[in-house]
Structure 1
Amino acid sequence: MTEVRRSATAAASERIASLDALRAGALFLGVVLHSLMSVGTIGWVVTDDSRVPVADAIINGIHVFRMPLFFALAGYFARGSLARRGPRRFAADRAKRILAPMVALWPVAVLPVIVVAIAFAITHPDVPTTPPSDDPLAIATPAHLWFLWSLTQLYVLLLLASWLLPKVTSAERRERVSDALARVLTGPAAPLWAAIPLVAALWLQPSGIVGPATLRPELPATLAFGGAFGVGWCWAGTADALDRLRRGWQLRLAGGVVLTALCLIVGAPAPGQSSLLGLLTTLVAYPLATWLWVYGLVGFAATWLRAPRTGVRYLAEASYWVYLTHLGWVCLLQFAVADLAWPWPLKVLLVIAGTMVATLSTYHLLVRSTLIGRWLNGRTYSFRRPSAGSDQPAELAEASR
């Protein structure tokens, strides 16, 4: 059993090309999602002249699986990182790579969004806007950086559990429980078991789980995303996790697509709604769709994206910087095209392309081979030559940025 445990830890500590590719793809879906917000009917920083319900459908479809996938990957890699570094070095590394960037780069990541929101409100006084929050904590909103703040809280809980559990239970019992959870959560019925925390979260907040708008912890979000983190942690308890997760990925993805379509048709329940169909959609179809997507995507990546690719590796390395800085560029470009009488798909594509060019260019010129890159990614790279090796530790993926 000890050898299996070491093998599992090693597997969760190595650079894994398939999960790098999956993480990068999910990151870029975030750029797509935010670029669509201005043409959707949901309130946003910028309101485009074109507002189409199909944008809402795409946004909500991406929301079904994207953040649970990030947190599951974070939990998977956190297990190997904690085992290799030990609690103190793990805490110091996470404070440096996760908490410090959230605080230090807030002016770069969030302040431009606030400036664009003010500029749009001044130049479009007749366009209805979302009223400002009366919550005093909203002044220092983490905005899209809520992921880093939630992840920091989960790391604190993880460190507390790693300190407390050895005091109340034996190592042998912990290993037995870990092995059982790993087998269950990588087995045929795994999506059903993985969905349980999300069901509990949606019972508390049937309108849907979103990232906290302030630094105040929120129980539904903690249950939903902490549960996903725990699922990934349990995956790393067996050395053959990715091989097990490859099984049946096609059926899982197909099921996720079908259930997502059902959820989009039925929609979230209105306040006070108690219909049986609304209840089943919220507490059964949506959680199961989420985890069928997550398991299907991980299985797909483990099957078809196993070979390292230099371009994918580069994008994975750039993804943290893209995540941190993309929203300001998105909102600025949305502001620039909002009043143009162009087809909305063209405007969205321009926003996506412009954002990717801006973020990847600044990454290559200002981050990749500088001290900022060492801070965020743990090392610097040659300015001219793309990395092709596999020497960078994969714990950077644990942030699923």
Structure 2
Amino acid sequence: MTHAICPAPTSERLHALDAVRAYALLLGIVLHAATSFLPLGPRRFWLIEDTHPSAVLGVVTFVIHVFRMTTFFLMAGFFARMSLHRRGTAGFVKDRLLRIVLPLTVAWPLVFIPIAALVMVASQFPHGGPTPGMGGWPPALPRFPLTHLWFLYVLIELYVAALLLRWAVISMDSGGRARAAVDRLFARVMQSRLAPAILALPILLTLSSDPNWIGFIGVRTPDQSLITNGQAWVCFGSAFAVGWLLHRQIGLLRLLEQRWLLTTVAAATLIALSFGLAFAVMQVSARNWTAPVDLATVRLAGAIAYALAIWATTFAVIGLALRFLAGFSRTRRYLADASYWLYVIHLPIVMALQVAVSQLDWPWPVKFGFILLIAIPLMLASYHLLVRGTFIGRVLNGERRGQTPKQLAVAGSAMSS
């Protein structure tokens, strides 16, 4: 029993949210393309370190990393509940097996093998090859190189957790009173201008409890283990829960649209503060300069700023989409359909291009632009020719033929991610 107190969604809102989901995936391609240029010195964590590092791309990756996956998992929770109520529990499980479990199972070996080969090729160059985080092969379980496909693994965990929790709640709350109380509490939180701060509290606690955390790490992603770490569970799980609860009261999205300017200003301010504090933590840790307070205090301040920045930026991105990306767009619809495929296949392609240009004496903007201008059209061509009208496209995005723009908006729930 759902106690939604807000009106049903409009197709315009669903178009905007589907665009948010798609752009969150596509920004991941930009982020990974930039990683070989990060000026991290001895702290290399990528397969290759380019000969022309870029502080600008360091800032770009920091900004993207703040909000991208939280926004993605919020949309996942929103569309997951939509799909569950459209299909029923059995239909939802079947759909997730087809569109999440199957792609993870099939795609992982197809992308891991070329990635492993590229790491070996990169080892022939200075500042290239395996990184300490990669470990050996075969991995000692639960260590496992999920690579960039970790998000599918975490989605599966969250779907299972959501279904079990929903079953338990319905069993104990047959009258729906507890759910109604949760809806009222959630509505009060979202109506408050302090909503980002309230939602940031769990993330703040888990970040501040990590003695080695700095802002440049962000939320630790579970890409090297089958046991999802606590930071990922708290950050991405809470985002998934917020998306689920937003779908129960879709009218609350109007608040994010109305506050887009306020949250955008707050997000920009908090990101700048987070970046400055992350830099300060690194400098104090390296003893390059002495701060007026101890390292633990600087790290705590950085965690506070970063946790606030996560939710302020997530709300800003959604608010901006609702304000400026409402309405049907064939281009956005096409990119939304293509984004899943592009993200799944992009990493070995991007890595190969990074290795190819890493030793060239070109300015970093030329190298970075070259990587994107080769990788993205190539991947789009593969989607258009090999995926869009095929069984693979139907698995990833559902049936397209005969859909109206309004139906296409609802179809955005097919991937639930």
TM-score for both structures, normalised by structure 1: 0.90
The structure 2 residue matched to 1:199, chosen from 197, 204, 207, is 204
Q: Distance in 2 between matches of 1:379 and 1:314?
A: 14
Whether 2:347 is the aligned partner of 1:324: answer no
Aligned partners of 2:15 and 2:326 also within 8 Å: yes
Aligned partners of 1:373 and 1:380 also within 8 Å: no
How far the C-alpha of 1:130 sits from its partner, in A, is 1.6
Aligned partners of 1:33 and 1:59 also within 8 Å: yes
Q: Which residue does 1:308 correspond to in 2?
A: 328
Counterpart residue type for residue 175 of structure 1: R
How far the C-alpha of 1:170 sits from its partner, in A, is 3.4
SS in 2 for 1:267: helix
TM-score for both structures, normalised by structure 2: 0.87
Aligned partners of 2:142 and 2:227 also within 8 Å: no
Q: Distance in 1 between matches of 2:232 and 2:332?
A: 31
Q: Distance in 2 between matches of 1:138 and 1:59?
A: 29
SS in 2 for 1:360: helix
Q: Which residue does 2:406 correspond to in 1?
A: 390
SS in 1 for 2:190: coil
Q: Distance in 1 between matches of 2:230 and 2:10?
A: 28
More displaced 10-residue stretch of structure 1: 136-145 or 331-340 = 136-145
Identity %: 35
How far the C-alpha of 1:215 sits from its partner, in A, is 1.6
Q: Which residue does 1:142 correspond to in 2?
A: 146
More displaced 10-residue stretch of structure 1: 316-325 or 203-212 = 203-212
How far the C-alpha of 1:6 sits from its partner, in A, is 8.9
How far the C-alpha of 1:159 sits from its partner, in A, is 0.7
The structure 1 residue matched to 2:312, chosen from 292, 295, 301, is 292
The structure 2 residue matched to 1:21, chosen from 6, 19, 32, is 19
- Structure 1 pair 392–128 and aligned structure 2 pair: CA distance change class (3 A): closer
More displaced 10-residue stretch of structure 1: 203-212 or 72-81 = 203-212
How far the C-alpha of 1:278 sits from its partner, in A, is 2.3
Q: Which residue does 2:92 correspond to in 1?
A: 90
How far the C-alpha of 1:53 sits from its partner, in A, is 3.2
Which runs of 5 or more residues in structure 1 are unaligned?
A: none
Whether 2:90 is the aligned partner of 1:62: answer no
Aligned partners of 2:260 and 2:319 also within 8 Å: yes
Q: Distance in 1 between matches of 2:411 and 2:101?
A: 15
Aligned partners of 1:12 and 1:76 also within 8 Å: no
More displaced 10-residue stretch of structure 1: 171-180 or 362-371 = 171-180
- Structure 1 pair 167–306 and aligned structure 2 pair: CA distance change class (3 A): same
The structure 2 residue matched to 1:30, chosen from 24, 28, 31, is 28
Whether 2:157 is the aligned partner of 1:153: answer yes
Aligned partners of 2:274 and 2:306 also within 8 Å: yes
- Structure 1 pair 139–164 and aligned structure 2 pair: CA distance change class (3 A): closer
How far the C-alpha of 1:111 sits from its partner, in A, is 2.4
Q: Distance in 2 between matches of 1:297 and 1:396?
A: 18
Aligned partners of 1:145 and 1:324 also within 8 Å: yes
Q: Which residue does 2:83 correspond to in 1?
A: 81
- Structure 1 pair 246–73 and aligned structure 2 pair: CA distance change class (3 A): same
Measured against aligned partners, the alpha-carbon deviations of 1:81-108 in whole angstroms (never above 9, x if no partner) come to 1122222211121111111101111123
Q: Distance in 2 between matches of 1:235 and 1:145?
A: 26
Q: Distance in 2 between matches of 1:196 and 1:170?
A: 31
How far the C-alpha of 1:43 sits from its partner, in A, is 2.0
How far the C-alpha of 1:397 sits from its partner, in A, is 4.3
The structure 1 residue matched to 2:299, chosen from 275, 278, 302, is 278
Q: Which residue does 1:372 correspond to in 2?
A: 392
Q: Distance in 2 between matches of 1:381 and 1:117?
A: 41
How far the C-alpha of 1:169 sits from its partner, in A, is 2.3
Q: Distance in 2 between matches of 1:200 and 1:13?
A: 37
Aligned partners of 2:219 and 2:232 also within 8 Å: yes
Measured against aligned partners, the alpha-carbon deviations of 1:231-280 in whole angstroms (never above 9, x if no partner) come to 11111121312212212211111111111111111117468974323212
Aligned partners of 1:74 and 1:398 also within 8 Å: no
Aligned partners of 1:74 and 1:400 also within 8 Å: yes
Aligned partners of 2:15 and 2:409 also within 8 Å: no
Q: Which residue does 1:227 correspond to in 2?
A: 238
Counterpart residue type for residue 268 of structure 2: V
Q: How do residues 96-175 of structure 1 correspond to structure 2 at under 5 angstroms?
A: 96-121=98-123, 123-124=124-125, 127=128, 129-131=130-132, 132-133=134-135, 136-137=140-141, 140-175=144-179
Which runs of 5 or more residues in structure 2 are unaligned?
A: 287-293
- Structure 1 pair 185–11 and aligned structure 2 pair: CA distance change class (3 A): farther
How far the C-alpha of 1:390 sits from its partner, in A, is 3.2
Q: Distance in 1 between matches of 2:413 and 2:102?
A: 17
Aligned partners of 2:47 and 2:128 also within 8 Å: no
- RMSD of aligned Cα (Å): 2.6
More displaced 10-residue stretch of structure 1: 361-370 or 261-270 = 261-270
Q: Distance in 2 between matches of 1:345 and 1:126?
A: 20
Q: How do residues 240-251 of structure 1 correspond to structure 2 at under 5 angstroms?
A: 240-251=251-262
Aligned partners of 2:257 and 2:322 also within 8 Å: yes
How far the C-alpha of 1:338 sits from its partner, in A, is 1.1
Q: Distance in 2 between matches of 1:71 and 1:398?
A: 14
How far the C-alpha of 1:190 sits from its partner, in A, is 1.7
Counterpart residue type for residue 220 of structure 1: Q
Q: Distance in 2 between matches of 1:259 and 1:398?
A: 34
